[in-house]
Amino acid sequence: MKRSIALLIPAGLLVAAGVLPVQASDSRYPVSYIRKVEITEPSGRTAWENKDFLDCDDVVLTQEDVLFALRHMRRVSRSAYDPEKTDSTGCEGSATVTFKNWKNLAMGIEPNGRILALEYDAKMKVAGSPTSFYECSPCRDRKMTLLKDALYRADKRRFKRLVAEGQLSAGEAELRLKRARDSRDRP
């Protein structure tokens, strides 16, 4: 009897590991422990803004975005976050999250799921580690789906510019624009 139980425990752990999501949130910031979320800057531009990809005026950070990010973000290294090595939209919204223990988390969230976070104590002094870097693939998928029209407008601007520069014919630009929209609409 003891042998069969000893064999079932490791098997149960393997099954549980398979059920748990690969994208785990940072356990230091439980959503159930949040006192308040304040959006400090709903839409902002960084030096990396690329209007051919996305106009920052089309991106607005919401409270739901912050809560979703806290549930799904995973920590990455500083080098993995580097905008020169990864895709960056150049758009970023900012929020401050206050927890029930009065710990504060200042967050910068890009629509592509890149997140910067800095922890403060109740007196707004930097607490713990320096800036933390996060990635959130579910956040990117969610936000980019919501931004389909904004991405379509960016494609339209880009193709219009290429036609004006003589690098593309109007017919080819229209065809490419239709192809880009169709590729986004596919599940």
Q: How many domains does the chain have?
A: 2
Domain range for 62: 31-146
Based on the fold, state whether residues 80 and 111 are members of the same structural domain: yes
Strands (E), 81-123: 91-99, 104-109, 114-120
Based on the fold, state whether residues 135 and 95 are members of the same structural domain: yes
Separation of alpha carbons 1 and 39, rounded Å? 57
At residue 129, the 3 state secondary structure works out as: coil
Q: Based on the number of CB atoms within 10 Å of its own CB, is 112 exposed (0-12), middle (13-18) or buried (19 or more)?
A: buried
5 has pLDDT over 70: no
Contact 109, 91 (CB under 8 A): no
Q: Which tokens is 133 given?
A: 């870097």
**The pLDDT value given to residue 40:** 95
Based on the fold, state whether residues 134 and 151 are members of the same structural domain: no
Based on the fold, state whether residues 56 and 133 are members of the same structural domain: yes
Separation of alpha carbons 33 and 175, rounded Å? 50
In this prediction, residue 128 has a pLDDT band, given cuts at 50, 70 and 90, of low
Model confidence over 76-98: pLDDT tens digits?
A: 887 777 766 666 777 889 999 99
Based on the fold, state whether residues 117 and 175 are members of the same structural domain: no
**The pLDDT value given to residue 16:** 40
